[in-house]
Amino acid sequence: MATTARKDTTAVLEERDRQRRRTAERLLASSAKLSFDPLKDVDWASEPVPGAYYITPHRISLYGTELWERLSEEQRIELSKHEVACVASVGIWFEEILMQMLLRHAFDRDPTTAHVQYALTEIADECRHSVMFARMIAWMGAPAYGPGRLAHELGRVFKAISTHSQTFGGTMYVEEILDAFQREMTADESLQPLSRQVARIHVIEESRHITYAREELVRQDLGPVRRRVEQLLMGIVIHVATTHLINPRVYAAVGIDPKEGRRAARRNPHWRAAKTEMAAKVVGVLDRAGLVGRTNRWLLRGAGIV
Ligand SMILES: [Fe+2]
Ligand SMILES: [Fe+2]
């Protein structure tokens, strides 16, 4: 009996390794075929197009509020610029966390495997993305707002101690949210060409990262107790990442008091609906991986994504 069970477990683990290898080989081949160098592939010498938004107006956190109605067209465009710059700076915060988590993942594994080589390739991608986002923020003449002090410090702890589920669950969550916003940006030809090009590069390379994280997530099985703990921690990660996407300091750029802006955005049904829509797909995947449940649904609701 015991021998049969052991044989079964070995067979399952071997199959898992085969799947891992196949996925990584496919992703490595795709990276070799289509990767970007943002220092060369973005026209940094171009000027912003007058009158063009940086993101579609209905994805701006104050869209549809009373405060929005009070803004002139120029101020609305200015706010769109600061919100895109802010999300990019939060993107850098998360990519730096992710790079460290992936390095920890690679550190304990065999570097000759395709799986580890893809982890290293992804780190290289994220490294270029962070430089690209930083350049875009500077090109816009906006500050690197970041997610705020508390989220910054929580990130410091998270990147050092995250478990396998949190590494890939957290990664997938942030990547999917950014991906959903950026896919819309690439499709909207009325937007600033430079922020669209940055979005396009990111969308193409991130689709591989999302596959890598998703397959790692669904491959693992968690016991009932462990599952609850992972759900709770996952809920905290999702809550922090979502509620810190827009730093209230952006509102000051258009003469709105940051506290008043934050309050209006929090109550804004359009902004809540935008977040729910952008998170729908990834919440579904996390749910299938057993990472959404009673333990964290209240945190997801609090973040405005369910
Ligand atoms: Fe990235
Ligand atoms: Fe990524």
Distance CA 129, CA 254 (A): 28
DSSP 65-85: SHHHHHS-HHHHHHHHHHHHH
Half-sphere exposure of 213 (CA within 13 A, CB side): 25
Task: Name the closest ligand to CA 128.
Answer: 1
How many whole angstroms from its chain centre is CA 272?
17
Would residue 143 be called left, alpha or beta, if left means φ above 0 and alpha means ψ between -120 and 50 degrees? beta
pLDDT, greater one: 84 or 12: 84
**pLDDT-based confidence at residue 124 (cuts at 50, 70, 90):** very high
Q: How far is the CA of 214 from the centre of ligand 1 (A)?
A: 15
Q: How far is the CA of 137 from the centre of ligand 1 (A)?
A: 15
pLDDT tens digits along 182-234: 999 999 999 999 999 999 999 999 999 999 999 998 887 788 899 999 999 99
Token representation of residue 182: 């950026």
Q: How far is the CA of 295 from the centre of ligand 1 (A)?
A: 29
Distance CA 135, CA 184 (A): 21
Task: Name the closest ligand to CA 102.
Answer: 2
Q: How far is the CA of 195 from the centre of ligand 2 (A)?
A: 18
Task: Indicate the burial class of 51 (C-beta count within 10 angstroms; 0-12, 13-18, 19 or more).
Answer: exposed
Q: How far is the CA of 259 from the centre of ligand 2 (A)?
A: 32
Q: How far is the CA of 95 from the centre of ligand 1 (A)?
A: 6
